[in-house]
């Protein structure tokens, strides 16, 4: 089908340009660059087909929903590959140049695999937050008013003012009842 050929050729050219802009990929022999570009585009095409089948969307280049999914996949990977794009990363191209993974499997990569720097700050924040989380300790010191059980967890509640008395947040392991207790 002419439309499909045209659309896919356009996308191949987008990948070709990104490959030629990359310092390492541009040094590869022409047939290798050709294969990488073809495999990247085919991988996006195949992923778009699989997704559209799952969503019961018509998988033809006459279907705007399919075209939209296909082009956004191609666009995403081409942008990550293109060192001149706003992402300014050569990571994905380096991985392709060193055979760290096959271009035909590009759509299996997560955002973090593709561009570790773009997501690094998010991961850092999650790590810090998880370390700040107070540790829950188990105790038999408190009796639950709701169910009478004495198995609970407790953790110190962080207060904004330093002169405020510290509180423990107690949570009953039997019924989930939660209460605060001062200065224990
Ligand atoms: Zn209870």
DSSP 174: T
pLDDT in tens, 10-34: 999 999 999 999 999 999 999 999 9
Assessment of whether the complete model's pTM goes beyond 0.85: no
**CA–CA gap between residue 52 and residue 60 (Å, rounded):** 10
List residues bridging with 8 in a β-sheet. Answer: none
In a domain, 132, yes or no: no
* 16 lies in the same domain as 103: yes
* 174 lies in the same domain as 89: no
* 174 lies in the same domain as 86: no
* 45 lies in the same domain as 21: yes
DSSP 2: H
- What is the whole-number distance in angstroms between the Cα of residue 158 and the centre of ligand 1? 23
- What is the whole-number distance in angstroms between the Cα of residue 137 and the centre of ligand 1? 16
The number of folded domains in the chain is: 2
* 94 lies in the same domain as 56: yes
* 55 lies in the same domain as 101: yes
Lowest-pLDDT choice from 19-23, 41-45, 158-162, 178-182: 158-162
Residue range of the domain that includes 160: 137-182
- What is the whole-number distance in angstroms between the Cα of residue 156 and the centre of ligand 1? 19
In a domain, 49, yes or no: yes
């Amino acid at each position: 089908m002419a439309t499909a050929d045209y659309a896919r050729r356009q996308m191949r050219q987008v990948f070709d340009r990104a490959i030629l802009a990359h310092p390492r990929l541009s040094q590869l022999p022409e047939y290798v660059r050709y294969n990488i570009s073809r495999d990247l585009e085919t991988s996006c095409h195949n992923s778009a087909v699989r997704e559209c089948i799952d969503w019961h969307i018509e998988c033809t280049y006459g279907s705007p929903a399919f075209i939209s999914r296909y082009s956004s996949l191609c666009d995403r990977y081409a942008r990550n590959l293109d060192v001149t794009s706003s992402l300014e990363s050569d990571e994905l191209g380096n991985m392709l140049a060193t055979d760290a993974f096959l271009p035909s499997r590009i759509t299996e990569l997560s955002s973090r695999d593709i561009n570790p720097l773009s997501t690094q700050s998010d991961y850092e924040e999650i790590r810090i937050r998880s370390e700040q989380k107070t540790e829950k300790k188990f105790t038999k010191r408190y009796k639950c008013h709701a169910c009478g059980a004495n198995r609970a967890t407790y953790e110190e509640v962080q207060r904004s003012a330093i002169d405020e008395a510290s509180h423990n947040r107690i949570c009953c392991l039997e019924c989930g009842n939660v209460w605060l207790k001062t200065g224990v």
